[in-house]
Amino acid sequence: MDFSLNDDQQRLIATARKFTKEKIIPVAQKLDEHGTFPSEICKEGWELGLMNGEVPQEYGGLGLSTLDHVLMQEEINFGCAGIGTTLAGNNLAAMPLILAGTEEQKKNYLGQLTDSCSFAAYACSEPDAGSDVAGMRTTVRKVGDEWILNGIKRWITNGAYANWYTTFARTGDATDRHKGITCFVVPRDLPGVSVGRKEDKLGQRASNTCDIIYEDVKLTKAHLVGAEGQGFKVAMKTFDRSRPWIAAGATGIMRRALEECTKYATERKAFGQAIGQFQAIQFMLADMAMKYEATRLLMLKAAWNIGQGKLDAIESAYAKAFGADSAMQVATDAVQIFGGYGYTKEYPVEKLMRDAKLLQIYEGTSQIQRMVIGRSLIAAASAGV
Amino acid sequence: MKILVTIKRVEDYESKIKVKPDGTWIVTDGVNYRANPFDEIAVEEALRLRDANMPSEVIAVSVGSELSVNEIRSALAMGADKGILVKQAGWVDSDAVARCLQKVIEREKPDLVLMGKQAVDVDDNVTGQLLAEYLGWGQATFASKHESLESAEEKAKKPGVKLAADKASVEVIREIDGGLETLSVKLPAIVTVDLRLNVPRYASLPNIMKAKKKPVEELDPKALGVDVTPKVKVLKVEPPPARAAGIKVPDVAALVQKLHSDAKVI
C-alpha cells in the first residue's frame, strides 16, 4: 500500500492550486452573488487542461485517470464548488459517449470539446423524475428510420452554454420502466431544441442550471448512444464513474472550511484568549479534520478502483454519500465557529454551506446512495458471496 | 535560435524559515522547495522568444543536487524542450555555478542565455555577471519592459526582450535607479531578468504529461573540469531582529518628538 503521489500528480495539483488561488478565489464571491457564469475562468481553465480531463487522448483529451482527475478537482472546489461543477460538466456529458458511443460520435462530439473551449451537458433529470430515473417522461417515438424526441429536462448543468446534450429518453412504454430508456446525443442546433428558464439557486450559483426543452426533435441512428433500451445502464455506469468527482467537491469544501476555521480560531478572541484555545472549538475542528481525511481516503479508493478497471458502484456510492454528508456537516460547523460573522457574506464560510448542500442532491441524493449501498449488501448476501 | 535558461531549486518563500540554533544555516526540515521565481520569469521569456522565432529550442539548466531535477521538470512542464542537470550535492557558491554554466554553454553554444537576476534564497545577484565575464560575452541585467503586466502586449505573451531583425543582437529594456534604460546587446549574450518582465505561465496539464517524455541529461562538475569547492564560506546565519511592539503616542506633538529623538527620521 502506497499513499504517496507521483511527480505528475503533484505537478497537476500545483497547477490547479495556483489557478484556484490566483483566478478562482478572487472572483468566486462576486460570481456567486450575481449568479454569473465563469466564462473567463473556463476559457483559461480549458487551455490548462482543467475541463476535459477524462476525455481519452485519441479524441484530444488528456485521458486522465479518475484518481488524477479527483486530485485536480479537489483543488478547484477548494476555491468554488460552483466553478468546480462548471468545469467538470463536460466530463459528465462525455462519459456516456466514452462508455458506449461509436467511434464516429467520439471523434465528432468529444473532439468538439477538445478543439476549443465549448460545453456539453448531461440531460437526465426531469421536472417529475429526479431520483426516479426510470420514471422519466421524455419520449422518443420511432417513425420509419427516425426518432422524434419530446420532453423537458430540468436542472441541466451548463445547459444554456452547451452545444450538445447527452439525453436520456424513453423509447419503450412507461411500464417498461428502466428497460425502455435509451441514450441519445442531441446537438443543440437541431430544430426543436431550446433552452428554458435558468434556476435561481441556493448555492453553486456560478454554475449554470436550466431547463432544456425538446419539441419534435428529429433524431437519426447517428444520434443513438449505445443500444436501444440500454440507456439506464449507461446512465448508471456513468454515475459510477462520476460519483468520486462529487467526493472531490466535498474534500475541496471541507479543506477550505478547515483552513478558514483554523485561521479564524487563532485570531478571534473571546473571554481573554483565542477561541482556538477552547476545547469546544478544538473538538469541532478535530471532527472536521477527521471527516475531511476519511472522505479523501474513500474518494481515492473509489478512484483507484476505477483505475483498476473495476466499475464498482458501491465504492463510488460510499465516497459520494459520506463525502456529501460530511461536507454539509463540516460547512455548517464552519459557520458555527465563525458565529455571527459566519452567517454574513463578509466571510467565505456561509457560501461553503450553501454550496455543500447540492452535493447531497445532485448525481444521486444521499438517500439514493444508501439504496445503492444497501441493495449491493443484500444482493451479495443473497448470492452467498 | 537556441536559448539556454537557468533554473534553481530554492526554499519556497511561503514556507516558514527558521535559523538553526547553532547559526550554521536554516532548518530545512519541513521546508518546501520550488523553482526560483526570477528563473520562472526567465523561462517564460525564453518560451516567448522561442515561439516568436521558430525554429528555436529552449534548454533548462540547473546546478544542484539530484532533487533539482524537479525544477528542471517544472521548466519542461512550462514548455522548455530539454533539460541539463549539473549534479552536485551540498552547498555550491555562485562562482562555482557560473563556472559550471560556462562549461555547459561552451558545449551547447546557445545564442542567448536567460537567467533570473538573483535567486531568492541567498539573493547574491552575481551569477549572471560572473558568467558573462568568464565567457567574454556581453550582458544586460535586470531586464524589464515599458508595458505593464496588465497590458495587451503582456496578455498576448509578446516577448519583452526583442530579437533584432538580423538576429545578431537583442534589445533589452533594463530597470535602473529612477527609470528604464534600453540596451542593444550583441549575441551571444547573457540577459538576467527582473520582476516586471512578464507573468510566468502555468504548467498546463498537457505540458505536464509531455514533460516526462522530454530528455534530462545529467553532468558531473568534475567531468566538466570544474572545481566546485566553495570560495565563499558561510560564517553565521542569524534571523532579522524581531520587531519590537509599537507604542501609542498621545498627540501629534509627541509623535513628532518621537520621530525626531527616537526614530531619528525627521
ipTM: 0.86
Active site residue A293: no
Say if residues A172 and A127 touch (Cβ distance below 8 Å): no
Collect all residues of chain B within an 8 Å Cβ-Cβ radius of residue A12: 205, 208
pLDDT at B247: 86
Distance from CA of B96 to the nearest CA of A (A): 29
**Residue A317 grid coordinates:** 456510492
Distance from CA of B48 to the nearest CA of A (A): 17
Collect all residues of chain A within an 8 Å Cβ-Cβ radius of residue B68: none
Count helices and strands (H / E) in chain B.
8, 12
The CATH T-level fold of domain A121-228 is Butyryl-CoA Dehydrogenase, subunit A; domain 2 (2.40.110)
Collect all residues of chain B within an 8 Å Cβ-Cβ radius of residue A19: 202
Q: E-strand spans in chain B?
A: 2-6, 9-11, 33-35, 57-64, 82-87, 112-116, 138-144, 162-163, 169-176, 179-186, 189-193, 216-219
Q: Cβ atoms within 10 A of the Cβ of B262, count?
A: 9
Lowest mean pLDDT among A3-7, B33-37, B56-60: A3-7
Find the residue in A nearest to B71 (Cα). A11
Place of cell 461536507: A327
Collect all residues of chain A within an 8 Å Cβ-Cβ radius of residue B70: 7
Q: Give the Cα separation of A366 and A371 in Å (integer).
A: 9
Instruction: Give the active site residue among A54, A75, A126, A363.
Output: A363
Is the Cβ pair B205, A15 closer than 8 Å? yes
**CB-closest option in B73, B202, B209 to A48:** B202
Collect all residues of chain B within an 8 Å Cβ-Cβ radius of residue A48: 202, 204-205
Say if residues A284 and A260 touch (Cβ distance below 8 Å): no
Place of cell 458565529: A339
3.20.20.140, 1.10.540.10, 3.90.1150.10, 1.10.10.10: which CATH number matches A7-119? 1.10.540.10
CATH 2.40.110.10 residue ranges of chain A are: 121-228
pLDDT at B52: 95
Is the Cβ pair B212, A14 closer than 8 Å? no
**CB-closest option in B202, B204, B212 to A8:** B212
Q: E-strand spans in B30-94?
A: 33-35, 57-64, 82-87
Say if residues B92 and B228 touch (Cβ distance below 8 Å): yes
A261: nearest Cα among A358, A355, A328, A332: A332
CATH tag, B2-261: 3.40.50.620
Q: Please measure the distance between the N-terminal and C-terminal CA atoms of chain A and give it in whole angstroms.
A: 25
Say if residues B8 and B42 touch (Cβ distance below 8 Å): no
**Residue A247 grid coordinates:** 467526493
Collect all residues of chain A within an 8 Å Cβ-Cβ radius of residue B33: none
Is the Cβ pair B206, A11 closer than 8 Å? no
Is the Cβ pair B206, A12 closer than 8 Å? no
> What is the homologous superfamily of the domain A233-382 according to CATH?
Butyryl-CoA Dehydrogenase, subunit A, domain 3 (1.20.140.10)
Residue from B208, B210, B214 whose CB has the most chain A CBs within 10 Å, to mutate: B208
| pLDDT one digit per residue (tens) for chain A, 385 residues | 888 999 899 999 999 999 999 999 999 999 999 999 999 999 999 999 999 999 999 999 999 999 999 999 999 999 999 999 999 999 999 999 999 999 999 999 999 999 999 999 999 999 999 988 888 999 999 999 899 999 999 999 999 999 999 999 999 887 888 899 999 999 999 999 999 999 999 999 999 999 999 999 999 999 999 999 999 999 999 998 999 999 999 999 999 999 999 999 999 999 999 999 999 999 999 999 999 999 999 999 999 999 998 878 899 999 999 999 999 999 999 999 999 999 999 999 999 999 999 999 999 999 999 999 999 999 999 987 6
Say if residues B231 and B126 touch (Cβ distance below 8 Å): no
Is the Cβ pair A19, B205 closer than 8 Å? no
Is the Cβ pair A8, B203 closer than 8 Å? no
pLDDT at B266: 83
C-alpha R_g of chain A: 21
**CB-closest option in B73, B203, B212 to A15:** B203
Q: Give the Cα separation of B127 and B118 in Å (integer).
A: 8
Collect all residues of chain A within an 8 Å Cβ-Cβ radius of residue B205: 12, 15, 48-50, 53, 62, 64, 72
Is the Cβ pair B203, A19 closer than 8 Å? no
Q: Please measure the distance between the N-terminal and C-terminal CA atoms of chain B and give it in whole angstroms.
A: 55
Find the residue in A nearest to B69 (Cα). A7
Is the Cβ pair B73, A7 closer than 8 Å? yes
| Residues whose CB is less than 8 angstroms from the CB of residue B161 and which lie 6 or more positions away in sequence, other chains included | B45, B49, B114, B143, B170, B171, B172, B191, B193, B197
**CB-closest option in B204, B211, B212 to A47:** B204
> What's the CA angle centered on A314, arms A311 and A320, to 5 degrees?
100
Domain boundaries defined on chain B: 2-261
Is the Cβ pair A62, B206 closer than 8 Å? yes
CATH 1.10.540.10 residue ranges of chain A are: 7-119
**CB-closest option in A19, A50, A62 to B209:** A62
A76: nearest Cα among A233, A206, A177: A206
**CB-closest option in A7, A18, A50 to B205:** A50
CATH 1.20.140.10 residue ranges of chain A are: 233-382
Place of cell 452535493: A359
